[in-house]
């Protein structure tokens, strides 16, 4: 059996340097392990760089909720609907989508929420711990969240979601019309009611945040290899990681390459289906209207986040486009939405981005060991909540790899569930 000393000195390779990979890398290197983080494109289009940047502890409900099935046709066929299906790619995803829909039931959603709470609670505190001692700490902003509605009746129609949040301890503050105007000057008069949740936060610049975390990792002696992993081969006492340009060996490998993880994880026994839910952002720079707080617009399925010189509008869901180019209609829709929410908004220039959320069929990520090879571990499949859940995931998988006595129960996230 390994002694505690040996465990702490483990030589671990992590495949994928998005928020999940870097959080795991920092946790493990601080515990004394030798870590090599391999990423094919650290400045690329990964979900971790382009997301809405919310540290969203209240996001404890999956995207598909009871009653949503009936709303899907409207979302698809309305010109301004937030859901896109791309043909022919979507045809291959039909078995996944049917199974995905089967989780939109009260008991299943309650189960998912319970196990998302473990990952999401106190995200601000978890990110501060993660960023401590690195320059990344300065990008963490504390702020309330505002969930806007056209009227209170529409809020009441969402009571299943809000009751779940209340049950898990969130304090909901009702904001009426006049107060909303003061909180969000420039917002369209269409929105007359909101729910405020205090004690939340966001990352003011996700690109710089991840870069600074990676620099912090390097300062602790972590090694970065910028190369594409093409295969992972398990040998008797080690694992060989084959990249395009070299081979390296490690005691353990953590697969945390977001939507790309499945190409490696399947051969190590993962049975949980995963699909890309492509999302989009539009960032407007030097806007005349500025917001102080992150805003959720449930009608448009958009998260709107303050940025240093403007506003980022992020969201939408697209299935079937993993191997296609981004959809220009999505960018046009985001701009229409920005203008409808903030009539009169002006900006100097804009940025468009799109990336892949790694979405599992049951809306819970895969965190834990391979059931057929004890040298291989997984941490991926965080769909809409990966930034929020990154640090806690890093700690959970880190403790598991190091076989700590005080482990988290990883059963709900297991690779063979
Ligand atoms: C529009 C949008 C808005 C979102 N908003 C939020 C939000 O506000 N809050 C929140 O918590 N979450 C949000 N998310 C979700 C969040 O971004 C993701 O869950 C999270 O970024 C996933 O992180 P990851 O590290 O698993 O994957 P990724 O960020 O995709 O990172 C995977 C990394 O693996 C690397 N890689 C892949 N294959 C290989 C290979 N073969 N060899 C080497 N490297 C490889 C890639 O280059 C990449 O850097 C949003 C997502 C989208 C799309």
Q: Domain spans of the chain? A: 4-47+208-271+363-413, 56-203+274-360
Nearest residue (CA) to ligand 1, atom 12: 385
**Residue 45: band (very low, low, confident or very high) from pLDDT cuts 50, 70, 90:** confident
- Using a 6 Å cutoff on CB, does residue 81 contact ligand 1? no
- Using a 6 Å cutoff on CB, does residue 281 contact ligand 1? yes
Average pLDDT over residues 121-146: 97
Q: Cα of 46 to ligand 1 centre, how many Å? A: 5
| Closest to 98 in 3D by CA, of 310, 336, 273, 238 | 273
**Residue 313: band (very low, low, confident or very high) from pLDDT cuts 50, 70, 90:** very high
Q: Cα of 18 to ligand 1 centre, how many Å? A: 5
Average pLDDT over residues 130-137: 98
H/E stretch holding 104: none
Average pLDDT over residues 162-173: 96
Please report the atom of ligand 1 found closest to the CA of residue 277.
Answer: 53
Q: Cα of 45 to ligand 1 centre, how many Å? A: 9
| Local structure of 67: helix, strand or coil | coil
Task: Convert the pLDDT of each residue in 217-266 to its tens digit.
Answer: 999 999 999 999 999 999 999 999 999 999 999 999 999 999 999 999 99
pLDDT recorded at residue 24 = 98
**Residue 66: band (very low, low, confident or very high) from pLDDT cuts 50, 70, 90:** confident
- Using a 6 Å cutoff on CB, does residue 22 contact ligand 1? no
Instruction: Report the range of poorest mean pLDDT among 38-52, 63-77, 172-186, 362-376.
Output: 63-77
pLDDT recorded at residue 381 = 98
- Using a 6 Å cutoff on CB, does residue 260 contact ligand 1? yes
Running DSSP on this structure, what letter comes out for residue 382?
B
- Using a 6 Å cutoff on CB, does residue 24 contact ligand 1? no
Nearest residue (CA) to ligand 1, atom 15: 384
- Using a 6 Å cutoff on CB, does residue 143 contact ligand 1? no
| Closest to 8 in 3D by CA, of 32, 36, 37 | 32
Q: Which fold has domain 4-47+208-271+363-413?
A: FAD/NAD(P)-binding domain (3.50.50)
- Using a 6 Å cutoff on CB, does residue 18 contact ligand 1? yes
**How many other CB atoms are found less than 10 A from the CB of residue 72?**
15
Contacts of residue 226, defined as CB under 8 A and 6 or more positions apart, other chains included, come to 38, 39, 40, 41, 42
With respect to CATH, is domain 56-203+274-360 assigned 3.30.420.40? Answer: no
pLDDT recorded at residue 82 = 85
**Residue 414: band (very low, low, confident or very high) from pLDDT cuts 50, 70, 90:** very high
pLDDT recorded at residue 6 = 55
**Residue 1: band (very low, low, confident or very high) from pLDDT cuts 50, 70, 90:** very low
């Amino acid at each position: 059996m390994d002694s505690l000393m040996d465990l702490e000195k483990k030589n671990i390779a992590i495949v994928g340097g998005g928020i999940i990979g870097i959080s795991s890398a920092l946790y493990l290197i601080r515990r004394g392990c030798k870590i090599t983080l391999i990423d094919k494109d650290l400045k690329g289009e990964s979900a971790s760089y382009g997301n809405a940047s919310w540290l969203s502890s209240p996001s404890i409900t999956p995207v598909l909720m009871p009653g949503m099935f009936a709303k899907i046709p409207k979302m698809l066929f309305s010109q301004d609907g937030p859901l896109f299906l791309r043909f022919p790619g979507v045809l291959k995803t039909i078995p996944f989508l049917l199974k995905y829909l089967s989780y939109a039931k009260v008991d299943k959603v309650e189960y998912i929420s319970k196990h998302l709470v473990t990952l999401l609670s106190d995200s601000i505190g978890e990110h501060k711990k993660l960023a401590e001692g690195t320059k990344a700490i300065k990008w963490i902003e504390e702020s309330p969240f505002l969930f806007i509605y056209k009227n209170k009746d529409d809020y009441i129609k969402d009571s299943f979601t809000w009751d779940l949040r209340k049950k898990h301890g969130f304090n909901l503050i009702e904001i009426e019309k006049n107060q909303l105007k003061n909180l969000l000057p420039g917002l369209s008069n269409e929105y007359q009611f909101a729910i405020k949740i205090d004690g939340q936060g966001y990352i003011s610049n996700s690109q710089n945040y991840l870069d600074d975390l990676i620099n912090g990792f390097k300062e602790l002696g972590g090694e970065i290899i910028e190369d594409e992993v093409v295969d992972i081969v398990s040998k008797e006492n080690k694992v060989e990681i084959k990249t395009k340009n070299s081979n390296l060996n490690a005691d353990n490998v953590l697969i945390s390459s977001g939507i790309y993880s499945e190409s490696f994880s399947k051969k190590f026994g993962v049975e949980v289906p995963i699909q890309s839910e492509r999302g989009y952002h539009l960032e407007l720079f030097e806007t005349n209207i500025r917001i102080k707080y992150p805003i959720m617009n449930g009608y448009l399925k958009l998260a709107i986040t303050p940025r240093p010189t403007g506003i980022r509008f992020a969201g939408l869901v697209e299935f079937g486009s993993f191997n296609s180019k981004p959809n220009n209609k999505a960018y046009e829709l985001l701009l229409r939405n920005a203008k409808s929410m903030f009539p009169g908004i002006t900006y100097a220039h804009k940025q468009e981005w799109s990336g892949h959320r790694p979405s599992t069929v049951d809306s819970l990520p895969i965190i834990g060991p391979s059931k057929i090879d004890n040298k291989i571990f997984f941490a991926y499949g965080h769909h809409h909540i990966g930034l929020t859940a990154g640090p806690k995931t890093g700690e959970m998988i880190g403790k598991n790899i190091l076989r700590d006595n005080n482990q988290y129960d990883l059963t709900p996230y297991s690779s063979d569930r």
